[in-house]
Chains A and B, each alone.
Chain A
Amino acid sequence: MPARRTLARSLRKDWVLYFMLLPGVIAILLFNYGPMFGLSVAFLNYNPILGIAKSKFVGFKYFADAIGDSAFRQALVNTVVIKVGQTLVTFPCSIILALLLNEARPWYKKTVQTSTILPFFLSWIAIAAMFSDLLSPTSGVVNEVLMKGFGMQKPIAFLSSNDWFRWVIIFQDTWKMAGYFALIYLSAIAGIDPAIYEAATLDGCGRWRKIWYVTLAGIRTTIATMLVLLMGYLIIGPFEQVFAQYNSAVYNTGDVIETFAFRLGLTSQKYGFATAIGLMQGIVACVIVLVTNFFVKRSESSVSVF
C-alpha cells in the first residue's frame, strides 16, 4: 500500500466508509456548525424579515451595550457564583462519597450507589417538581423539620427568596451529580494495585492512612482530569436547572447568563444583544478550558483532557 494515496483514490476505495460517516457529519455540520454563522447576528441590527444578509451592520455595539448593562453584569456574577459554589461543593462531596463507598460492605455499597446515581438520570423538570414540594413554605418537609424540629419561627420560601435560591441551586447540583462523579472515582480506585494496600498494611498504616496515602493518592490523576473538565463549565450556567425553577422574584441572585439571554432574545426579540452575550460566554468558556488544559499538560503529562 502506498504511504499516501490521493483523495480521489481513497474516496473510490473507501466510499462505503465515507457513506457511513455521512449522516453524522451532515447533522453536525447543519446543527452544530450552522448556528455559528448565526453568530453574525451579534454584529447586526437583526430584522427577522430582512434576514441576515440585509440587516444593518452595527459592529461591536451590542458587546459594548452588554458590558454596560447592569442586568447582564448581575447575570454574569450569578453564573460565576453559582458555578463556583456548585464546583466547590459537588467536587469534594463526590470524592468523599467515593472514598466512603469504597470502604462499605458490598451490599451496602450497592444500595447507596443505586440511590445516589438515580437522580443523574432524571430531568431537571422532574427534579424541579420534586423540590417545589420538598421546599414548599406551607407543607414542605424541609420547613416542617426546621420549624417543628429546630424551633424555627417562620417558614423559608427557598425558591422565591434571594437569600436562599443560590443555595438551593448549588446543593441540588450536588444531590443530582455527586453519585455520578463518585462512580468515576470508584472505577479509578478499582484500578489501584492491591499490592500497594498490602505494603501499606505491613508498614503499619491504619485504615485512615490507607485512605489518605493509597486510595486518594492513587486517584489524583482522575481528580485533576475531572477538575479540568469542570473548569470548562465555570461560565456556562446551569441553564435548564435554573430555567425550570426560577421566577421573577429571584432574578437578582438566580438569573444566569443563558436565562438572561433567553429572555432577551426569545421573549423581547433583542436577537443581536442576546447573541452577543452568548458569543462572549462561548469564547471565554473556550479560553478557560484551553488555558487550564495547557497548565495541567505542563505539570502532569498524563492528565490533559485532549
Chain B
Amino acid sequence: MQDKMVLPSKPTKIAYRPYFRHFSMGGVVINALLGVVLVLTAYPFLYALFLSVMPYNKFVSSSLHFLPNGFTLTYFAQILQNAKLPKAFLMSLIRVATGTTLNVTCTLLAAFAASRAHLRGRRFLGILFIIPMFFGAGLIPYYLTIRAYGLINNFWVLILPGLVSPMWFFVARAALVDYPQDIIEATFIDGAGYFRIFWQIVWPTNLPIIATLAMMYGIGHWNEYFWTRILVNQNLWTAPVFLYSMLNETEMVRNLGLNIQMAPESFTAAVACSLIIPVLLIYPFVQKFVIKGLVLGAVKG
C-alpha cells in the first residue's frame, strides 16, 4: 500500500524513480544501511526465539549464544504448566474483547456526534478533549481518585478510565468530518434517527478507521502493565502482567540456588516470546489498515 503511494503510477512516464535500476555506489550504501537496520530490529526477536528453545546443557556448554543451538520446549512447558496462567489468559481475552468493543463504540459514537456541524457546544467539546492531551494530573492524584471512587480491585477500573482516548477521538472525528455529509443529511430527512444512521450507514462504511481503533485499543489492553499491577489484585491480572511477575519469581528461585536445571536467560526469553507472539499473530491481518490509521493519527492528532 505504501509502495503505491510513493511510486508514480505505472502509465505516467516520470523520470524520477525512487530506487535504482542500475548498479551504483549510492545504491549499495543505501541498501547496506537498510540491511544493518533490518538486522538491528529483527535480530533481537530471533535471539529471544533461539534462547527460548535452547536446551539447558547446550546453553551451559557453549560460550556463544547468538545462533540457534538445539531445540526444546521445556521453558514454554514450564510457563504453561503454571496453574494460574490459563485464568490470566482468559482475563486478557475478556479484557481485550470487552474493552476494545466499548472503546471503539464509544469513541466512534462521540466522534460522530461531535462531527455534526450544527451541534451546539462543539467547540467546548474540542477543548474538553484536548486539555487532557497536554496536562495530566500525575500518578498520585490519579491513584487517590480511583481509590476515592472505590474502584480498586474492580475489573472496570481496567476498562473505563481509557474509554475514549482524546487522540483517537480527534482522529475519528476528523475522518467523520471528511465523510460525505449529504448521505447523512439525506437519510436524516428521510426520517432515520441518528442511531440508525450511525449503525446502518456510518459504521459499515468506516471499517478502516474502526480497524485502526480496534487494533490500537486492543494492543493497548494487551500491553497495559503498570496500572493493572498497581490497581487490581492477582485475580484480575492479564497474561502479560502475570507472565512478567513469573520472571521475578524465577529470579527468587535462582537466588535460593534451587532449580539448577534451567537457564534463567532462556526462561526470560520464553516469557518475552509469549508476550510478543500474540501481537505477531494478529499484526499481519491489520497491518494495512493500521499503517494508514497511524499516519492519520499522527497528522491530525
Give residues 100-138 of A contacting B (CB, 8 Å): 100-106, 108-119, 121-126, 129-134, 136, 138
B260 at the interface (CB under 8 A from A): no
Which listed residue (B118, B139, B247) contacts A258, Cβ 8 A? B139
Please determine whether A14 and B41 come into contact, CB atoms closer than 8 angstroms.
no
Please determine whether A38 and B141 come into contact, CB atoms closer than 8 angstroms.
yes
A285-B135 Cα distance, complex, nearest whole Å: 8
A97 at the interface (CB under 8 A from B): yes
Size of interface on B: residues with Cβ below 8 Å to A: 105
Binding site for B on A (CB under 8 A): 1, 5, 7, 10, 14, 16-18, 20-21, 23-25, 27-39, 41, 48, 97, 100-106, 108-119, 121-126, 129-134, 136, 138-141, 144-145, 148, 175, 179-180, 183-184, 186-187, 189-190, 194, 197-198, 200-202, 207-208, 210, 226, 232, 239-240, 243-244, 258, 261-262, 265-266, 271, 274-275, 277-279, 281-283, 285-286, 289, 306
- Contacts of A140 on B, CB cut-off 8 Å? 265
Which listed residue (B34, B145, B294) contacts A112, Cβ 8 A? B34
- Contacts of B276 on A, CB cut-off 8 Å? 122, 126, 130
Shortest CB-to-CB span from A216 to chain B, Å, is 14
- Contacts of A202 on B, CB cut-off 8 Å? 15
- Contacts of B129 on A, CB cut-off 8 Å? 28
B149 at the interface (CB under 8 A from A): yes
- Contacts of A118 on B, CB cut-off 8 Å? 41, 45, 280, 283
Which listed residue (B8, B141, B198, B224) contacts A20, Cβ 8 A? B198
B279 at the interface (CB under 8 A from A): yes
A interface majority secondary structure? helix
- Contacts of B42 on A, CB cut-off 8 Å? 115
- Contacts of B161 on A, CB cut-off 8 Å? 27, 30-31
Could you list 17 A-B pairs, sorted by A, with CB under 8 Å? Answer: A10-B119, A31-B145, A32-B136, A35-B142, A37-B141, A38-B140, A39-B137, A97-B37, A115-B41, A116-B38, A121-B279, A123-B225, A126-B240, A129-B272, A132-B268, A179-B41, A197-B15
- Counted as pairs of residues, one from A and one from B, with CB atoms less than 8 Å apart, the total is 302
Please determine whether A24 and B110 come into contact, CB atoms closer than 8 angstroms.
yes
Please determine whether A114 and B5 come into contact, CB atoms closer than 8 angstroms.
no
A39-B137 Cα distance, complex, nearest whole Å: 7
Known contacts A194-B16, A201-B16; A136/B5 CB under 8 A: no
B179 at the interface (CB under 8 A from A): no
B31 at the interface (CB under 8 A from A): yes
B66 at the interface (CB under 8 A from A): yes
Given A35-B138, A194-B16, 18 new contacts (CB under 8 A): A5-B120, A21-B125, A25-B125, A29-B128, A31-B160, A35-B137, A100-B33, A122-B223, A122-B279, A125-B225, A129-B268, A130-B48, A130-B276, A134-B44, A139-B65, A261-B139, A266-B139, A306-B130
Please determine whether B272 and A130 come into contact, CB atoms closer than 8 angstroms.
yes
Known contacts A104-B30, A106-B3; A184/B120 CB under 8 A: no
Which listed residue (B14, B26, B106, B222) contacts A23, Cβ 8 A? B106
- Contacts of A111 on B, CB cut-off 8 Å? 38
- Contacts of A48 on B, CB cut-off 8 Å? 144
Shortest CB-to-CB span from A212 to chain B, Å, is 13
Please determine whether B107 and A24 come into contact, CB atoms closer than 8 angstroms.
yes
